[in-house]
Amino acid sequence: MSHELDFSNGKPAMAYIGFEPWHGFGREMTAEADTETWKKEAGMDWEAKSAPVEFATENKLELFPDRQVLYRSDNGTPLSIVSNKFKVVQPGMMIDFFGNLIEKHGFTMETAGCLFGGRMFWALAKTGNDFDLAGNDTIAPYAMIVSSVDGEMSTAVHLTTIRVVCWNTLSMAIGKTGKNAIVTVPHNKIFHPGEAQIKAGLVEDTWGTFVENANILTGIKIDRDTALDIIVKNMKSEWKDANGDEMKNAEIEEASYAIRRIMSLYTNESIGNNLLSSKGTAWGLVNAVTQYCDHDAGRVNTDRSRTFVRAYLGDRAKLKIKVANSLLELAK
C-alpha cells in the first residue's frame, strides 16, 4: 500500500487516541487502555528474532560470517540483514518507554504503530503542560520514540510540539540549548530508556526553553521581503538559473512551488494565520513552514507515511528547526 503502514497480519499496525491518523487507518483506543493493550492493537506485540545468514553455492549451504537476519516472531517475515554487533530494540519497547512516565508523570499515549512491514516503529505521548501563546494559540508538548530494525535509523527520542489549531509539529530543538530535545542511540550500543528520559529532559527544562523561544518568535514582526529571504536561504544554499547566474528572490519564488506555497500560507492561507501570535510575525512564518512540511508536501505521490517520517524526523523536520533558528537570530 502506498502509505506504507504495516499490514503484515491483515490489519493496520496502528493505534491512536483522539484525531484519526493521516492515513485513516488504525484502532481507536480509550484513555484507560494499558500498555499491553496498546502493543496488541498497534501491531507491536511481536519481537525481532535473529538467525544466522546462509546462502547456497553450487555444492552446499554456506554461512555469512558476522551477519544475522532479523525476522518477525509472529509471521516469520524477514526484516533485514545486520551485523552481529547490531543491538535490537523491540517494537514493544516503544510503548514500554512511556510506562513509568504515564504512571508517575501524567503522560498519555496518543499514537503508536509500525511502518514498512515492521522495519520501523514509533510511539507518541502527550506530556501535559499545554501553553497558550498570546492568549489563544495553544501549544502542546509531546515526546516521540522511534526505532528501526534495518539499520536505517538509530533509536531516538524526540521532544516535539503540536500546535492545536492546525496540528502542525515543531521539534523543541530550537535555540542554542535545544540539542537535548533529540537523543539518539545508534544500534551498536544498548538503548537504556531511563538514561534517554533523563538526557531528553522529560520534560520541564526543554519545554520551558521552547516556550521562551516561541514567545520570542511571536514578538518579532517581519515583512514579506524578510520572510521570503529567510525561506530562500534555508531551503537551499544557492539558487542559479539555467545559465548559471545567481537568481533573485522574486525569480526563486516564481520557480519554486514549495516557496510559493509557504509564502502564500504565511501571507494569508495558513490555519491560525489570523491569531495575534501569528499575523505578520516570525512565529507565523514558522507555522507556514510547518504546515507545508506536515500537510502539503508529499501529496503528489500520496505516500503519507514517508511524509510523516520526513516531517517528524527527516529533512523537513530539520528545515523547520533551521527556519526557527534563523528567525530567532533576528531578536539579537
Q: What digits encode the pLDDT tens for the residues 215-224?
A: 999 999 999 9
Question: How far is the C-alpha of 47 from the C-alpha of 97, rounded, in Å?
Answer: 16
What long-range pairs does 31-36 form, CB within 8 A, spacing at least 24?
31/108, 33/109, 35/95, 35/96, 35/98, 35/99, 35/102
Q: Can you tell me whether residue 231 is helix, strand or coil?
A: helix
Predicted pLDDT of residue 37: 96
Question: How far is the C-alpha of 261 from the C-alpha of 288, rounded, in Å?
Answer: 9
Q: Do the beta carbons of residue 112 and residue 38 sit within 8 Å?
A: yes
pTM: 0.85
Percent of the chain with pLDDT over 70: 94
* Cα-to-chain-centroid distance, residue 25: 19
The mean pLDDT of the chain is 89
Predicted pLDDT of residue 280: 95
- Here the cell at position 20 is 484519526
Residue 2 has pLDDT above 50, yes or no: no
Predicted pLDDT of residue 59: 84
Choice among 131-140, 245-254, 307-316 with the minimum mean pLDDT: 307-316
φ/ψ of residue 132, rounded to 5: -105, 120
180 band by pLDDT with thresholds 50, 70 and 90: confident
Q: Rg of the chain's alpha carbons, rounded to an integer?
A: 22
Predicted pLDDT of residue 304: 61
Question: How far is the C-alpha of 177 from the C-alpha of 211, rounded, in Å?
Answer: 12
Q: What digits encode the pLDDT tens for the residues 247-305?
A: 999 999 999 999 999 999 999 989 998 999 999 999 999 999 999 998 887 655 555 66
Q: What digits encode the pLDDT tens for the residues 24-62?
A: 788 999 988 999 999 999 999 999 999 999 988 988 888
Residue 194 has pLDDT above 50, yes or no: yes
Predicted pLDDT of residue 308: 77
188 band by pLDDT with thresholds 50, 70 and 90: very high
Residue 1 has pLDDT above 60, yes or no: no
